[in-house]
Chain A
């Protein structure tokens, strides 16, 4: 009784306090951002480090992509190709094992130190020896802490030689080198800040390679410098006047951490920010209708899918797998739930990557699905559980699927959970159905082919736990094809092999692919040349200007 009374008395005061907070938040000072500064509102709370050797999250990829340079860069006008970065040209030996890079002459880091092949070789060594999460992108070429100084080597000041362990497809190797982990660091600057370490069994080296310092500092050569990072608050990039290429028009770019879509929209409308990066469909629509604002978008390397665990005997039937692909209301989902943030995409390779198959053969068709279920001996339908992370848009898609599958007699029980709960269950193969997203690790078709259509060992204690393994999809034949495609040196043939794999997955896999993510940004009308690339490290800021 006490509690009830207290609440009743305090509620008006609380409401008053809440209202005044609302007014405080809702009446920002109406000041435009400076003409030489681009202010972006973006949820940057995933940034945990600025070190290219460790960073593997989305927002830091964009900072690193703009502030560092790699040997080769992704060409965002034709994303199946790479273009020169620090390297001016490269040659591949006939046996496909040796890559010789000639560096651009006379180029400098932001610090003023010259960029030499030694810096490149040391950056590779640093990544491999620190061995943080993205290191596998380089170590998959056979680099280890023991051999990296031999395999990734500076021959002279302007020549860097990389030796790989198998004759991989050259496109695969070059694509991997465009990743942020391939960033070239200023050896002299970093080693000035390196801390001595006592070698142990876990860590065999006597220096930390500037690991502690690099978490929050910058030693690169990109068009921008990272001047400041305050966690969950802001990131400031500043023009690098030592950059060898065309200088950016903007003097600085400021990222402000703003999490809510609605808040970002209000700030954009008020002119507090120039770009809003996390707009949800409703807010995006309002931005698009506003004459003062514009928007831009690009498909990203993330796909969303529903997967069916083959340990469930009903879901393991091929007819059921196919039937489920007819039970998603693709058109309605595309027009509503993911409008502006994704586009329907039924193959597992993302649009824009080498060998991507652009084919969406499935349509929502209850009659067809019922026919297939009857063929599978499940005329009266069946019940199945569905693990869903309680975030949008997956919850909305799951609810929509629950309704549409219900029309064919499939009773779906949604089990919501937070990301960790559902993912843990998924990784242990204890789910029936799961809806999730898969982001490419690096910009090459191998990453998704390896995840969706490769399962070298389907036993419970397998070493390689791909998405196919998580759904107990045993596919020795496809696994071989994925391995073969990795070594195919003819680019066209390689693309063809990936297309074949996707077609096979489209027909028989337990993955109901739903959509490919589109990244959208709302812009003030005076922002020019703002473009989004296919990956976060290829969102270029250098060409952006303001009128």
Chain B
């Protein structure tokens, strides 16, 4: 079979790849097909992509300023033609605030993932590969962190660091790495004694090289799944801190803080609290669906193999 007559699909799915690149692309394609076969996962992905786009183009999409309202003339207007989602107690457009708030939500999620996942990965793989006293020490520290309810520990950190979105991110990151460390350690234990690791070791690779180049990549897929599934929890924790007045500070349009300020009007002006609530619901749902889909697609022990 010559290259020219091959369709792109056949080229990707061939069981005799001609190059590393082809093999990798082939694997990615298979994963992608498995992922897209799950329509719920696709919905999740679309929600998250929508969130990213909204955050990127917030200034273009928002019909009004998220910070400046018209207290005298437009306070607590119900959803309608002028303000699709109504206005809040300062006369600000809720839709515009939700759109700008998506940036904060995304910022929290991304920063927590960027901070917490590598810490967990490093702690877990080092503990799993090194074993012995290092394993014991690192895992007991992890146990201590796991022994606290996440929100309570985050509350304590924010109380110590002072309120603010930056400190909230740090607090959430500090409290969310231990599960990742556990997962990474478990993955490491299953591969540390395999033949190819022994082969690398025989070739004289240092422990650091083995951990970084040969063990971590194997842990990453399960970690990605776990992080994605956790994103919903992170958003809820951030919203919870915002609700308690310890997260984003006024006038930042953080969704949790928006719910907190809307709860005074819940009987008569339900939309002030309900709209950010819906936003949190939809985005959390999106991350959960995406995470489930990713787990099915990335799991090498899945049914299709």
Interface residues in chain A, defined as those with a beta carbon under 8 Å from any beta carbon in chain B: 1, 3-4, 261-262, 265, 280, 282-283, 285-286, 329, 331-333, 335-337, 390, 392, 395-396, 398-400, 402-403, 406, 414-417
Contacts and interface: CB of A to CB of B under 8 A. Distances in A.
B15 interface: no
B37 interface: no
Interface string B28-72: 000000000000000000000000000000000000000111011
B254 interface: no
A400 B68 CA distance: 9
A403 B90 contact: yes
B300 interface: no
Interface string B141-166: 00000000010000000000001000
A261 B179 CA distance: 42
Contacts, number: 69
Nearest to B291: A4
Nearest to B71: A332
Contacts of A329: 71-72
B71 A336 contact: yes
Q: Give the contact-size bracket for chain B.
A: 20 to 34
Interface string B271-298: 0000000000000000000000000000
B250 A416 contact: yes
Given A1-B226, A4-B233, A416 B264 contact: no
Given A4-B233, A329-B72, 11 more contacts: A282-B265, A282-B269, A285-B268, A332-B72, A336-B71, A336-B89, A399-B251, A402-B251, A403-B251, A406-B67, A416-B245
A406 B68 contact: yes
Nearest to B267: A262
Nearest to B244: A390
Given A262-B266, A282-B267, A402-B250, A337 B71 contact: yes
Interface string B213-229: 00000000000001001
Contact of B71 (A1, A3, A282, A400): A400
Contacts of B261: 395
A336 B269 contact: no
B89 A337 contact: yes
Contacts of A286: 267-268
A4 B251 CA distance: 32
A265 B266 CA distance: 13
B67 A335 contact: no
Interface in B228-268: 229-230, 233, 245, 249-251, 261, 264-268
A332 B75 CA distance: 10
Contact of B179 (A1, A280, A282, A406): A1
A282 B269 CA distance: 9
22 contacts: A1-B179, A1-B183, A1-B229, A3-B233, A4-B233, A262-B267, A280-B264, A282-B264, A285-B268, A329-B71, A331-B72, A332-B71, A332-B72, A399-B250, A400-B90, A403-B67, A403-B68, A406-B68, A414-B249, A414-B250, A414-B251, A416-B249
Given A4-B230, A403-B67, A396 B90 contact: yes
B239 to A, nearest CB: 15
Contacts of B150: 3
A209 to B, nearest CB: 42
Contacts of B183: 1
Given A4-B229, A390-B245, A400-B71, A283 B267 contact: yes
A406 B250 CA distance: 14
Contacts of B266: 262
A396 B179 contact: no
